[in-house]
Structure 1
Amino acid sequence: MSLRDRAVASAYVGAWRGVGRLPEARARSLFARIGGRTYRRNGRGVQQLRANYARLRPELDAADLEDLVHDGVQSYLRYWCEAFRLSTWPLDDLVARTRTAGEERLRTPYAEGRGVVAALPHQANWDWAGAWACATGMPLMTVAERLEPVRVYDEFVRFRSSLGMQILPLTGGEPPMTALGDWAGAGGFVCLLADRDLSRTAVDVELAGQPARMPPGPALLAQRTGADLVPVTLAYREDDLEITFHEPVDPGTGEDGVAAATRAVAAAFSRGLVADTADWHMMQRVFP
């Protein structure tokens, strides 16, 4: 690794080992200060967040948009604070601080032996949601991008595995679709982040009325396995996390079915993202 990569990796590893030892109030205060500095620095990530929010919420004037960006950066840093602490949380506390809406859309098909494919945006804390599912009897399988430096990716895999998740690499190994299909086809629970895809295989959708592109993978997996396709959105509610399970989406048949299902997932995402925009931590380009 380069000197910079070693420094980045050491910082992540140190945070995972150190932040969890801090009292929660002290850790939250520390990351709120980091969030304030990050917002004021106005780097490329914050600028892209502002651009995404402006497309998602075109009705906002400049002052209201700027307040939203500030809140979004703080929500993003809250995610990181929690990520570095989640593996040390007592499970009963984590479960007690999780609220749900429409949870039967997850539990019923799973209890009946059907798989469930949950499609989620990068909103609030998806690791917390995954830990809640595992802690309440629904171990899950998901996919992770290979981050650089590799040591950071390895730490993320170790972290998520400690919460009960099975992690597959997106690249650099066997194509994940086969293992995901086996898991969902056997009645398992699959979670996939699905609010951004600028590749040639992406599906054209509307996100809050704006043209965007999303991955076909969740719909394709549900179509192939017969699993229920359930859009999920997340939001912070004071010290808690709220998970909303939207109406299941019919994946139909063939490419047209996959495209229509992906657009229906986008419609569900739109409702959650407009309602809780500051919890959408999307600092990469989404809208063409």
Structure 2
Amino acid sequence: MVDLAAAYTFAWRHAPKVPEPVLRAVFDLAADVAWLRRGAGVRRLEANYARVRPDLDDRAVRRLAREGMRRYLRYFREAFTLQGATPEQLDARVRVEGLEHVIAITDDGGSASLALAHLGNWDLAGAWASPRLAPVLTVAERLKPPELFEQFVEFRGSLGIDVLPLGDDGVFRNLVRGAEHGPRILPLLSDRDLTAQGVEVDLRGHRARVAGGPAALAVAAKVPLLPVGIRHERLTGERRRRAGTPWGIVIRFFPPVGPPDDGSRRAQVEQLTQAWVDVLGEYIARHTADWHMLQSVFVADLDPERYARTRAAAGEGR
């Protein structure tokens, strides 16, 4: 059995020493092999792509999934070498759209709850944002074995990103406290529900279950909620030379959604959640290959009995 913690540690320590073209070729090959084998993750990726892109036939979805796997593995390749990147390289690798929407908040000493999907490279985005916009505080799923999660937290900490473990006591309270002592940005990956407190929404015409965290944080801390899209883009010329790689990312800050109508806190969370899902749903449809969703997110793909228990635990359907 592969020791994941040891494997990730080895990659973080040694990948920056490998010439970038060699590393890129290795990860592209790994992505193509995974795509050709068409395991459960790739099949789920194709099914998710088919739902958000009903305009594509099966062959086009299959081709799109190949590019999706390459971009998914690119995320890991970039993550493993990110600690070795200079500030100048980070600046060259990141282009920002809609910056005015977030600096209007942070420049005034405020905080923002950011709703992110598994798009592009969110670690690169966080590494860029922490020293340039405001301190970054986020939540991450506990990985197994524990040593792997510790490595993960250490890695993000080296990038200036503070991580709270999902499921620990007081996580949401600490998020609220962090938001109340701004300036701070609080990005939460939320296009998949990892708890029993998620929200069922309409995602591109299909029922899906997403996390309620960004909206709940915005309501509790009384801070704006901004959807954020991230996608890869090919670099050329002087920017590519400064970046040290042919690929960078575009971070798109959308205007804040809401504020929610008067009503119960749950109703406000549901309204804000659907609002950011509408924004990022359109973004995913435009940049589908950047959506690294190899798990079930749509209700139709969930186990019915398990989902019924999830809804019951969340107090839904009563």
TM-score scaled by length of structure 1: 0.95
Which of 186, 192, 196 is matched with 1:190 structurally? 186
Distance 1:272 1:67 in 2: 19
**Aligned positions of 1:223-242 closer than 5 A:** 223-238=219-234, 239-242=247-250
Which of 2, 5, 22 is matched with 1:9 structurally? 5
Q: Are residue 255 (structure 1) and residue 266 (structure 2) matched?
A: yes
- The percentage of counterpart residues that share the same residue type is 39
Distance 2:169 2:71 in 1: 34
> Any idea what SS the aligned residue of 2:163 has?
strand
Q: Are residue 216 (structure 1) and residue 227 (structure 2) matched?
A: no
Distance 1:228 1:114 in 2: 9
How far 1:224 sits from its partner (Å)? Answer: 1.3
Going from structure 1 to structure 2, the CA distance change for 1:182 and 1:198 (only over 3 Å counts) comes to closer
Q: Which residue of 2 aligns with 1:150?
A: 146
**Aligned positions of 1:127-142 closer than 5 A:** 127-142=123-138
Q: What is the aligned residue count? A: 283
How far 1:223 sits from its partner (Å)? Answer: 1.0
Which of 201, 211, 217 is matched with 2:197 structurally? 201
The ranges of structure 1 where at least 4 consecutive aligned residues each deviate by more than 4 angstroms after the TM superposition are none
CA contact (8 A) 2:103 2:133 kept: no
Going from structure 1 to structure 2, the CA distance change for 1:134 and 1:200 (only over 3 Å counts) comes to closer
CA contact (8 A) 1:202 1:214 kept: yes
How far 1:12 sits from its partner (Å)? Answer: 1.2
After superposition, the C-alpha distances for 1:222-272 in whole angstroms (9 at most, x for unaligned) are 111121100001100111100111120124252211111000010011111
AA matched with 2:135? P
After superposition, the C-alpha distances for 1:71-124 in whole angstroms (9 at most, x for unaligned) are 000000000100100011112111222111111111111111221111100011
> Any idea what SS the aligned residue of 1:84 has?
helix
Distance 2:149 2:194 in 1: 22
Q: Are residue 163 (structure 1) and residue 159 (structure 2) matched?
A: yes
> Any idea what SS the aligned residue of 2:134 has?
coil
Q: Which residue of 1 aligns with 2:241?
A: none
Distance 1:136 1:263 in 2: 30
How far 1:8 sits from its partner (Å)? Answer: 2.1
Q: Which residue of 1 aligns with 2:252?
A: 244
After superposition, the C-alpha distances for 1:148-206 in whole angstroms (9 at most, x for unaligned) are 111111111111000001111112x3331111101111122111001011654221211
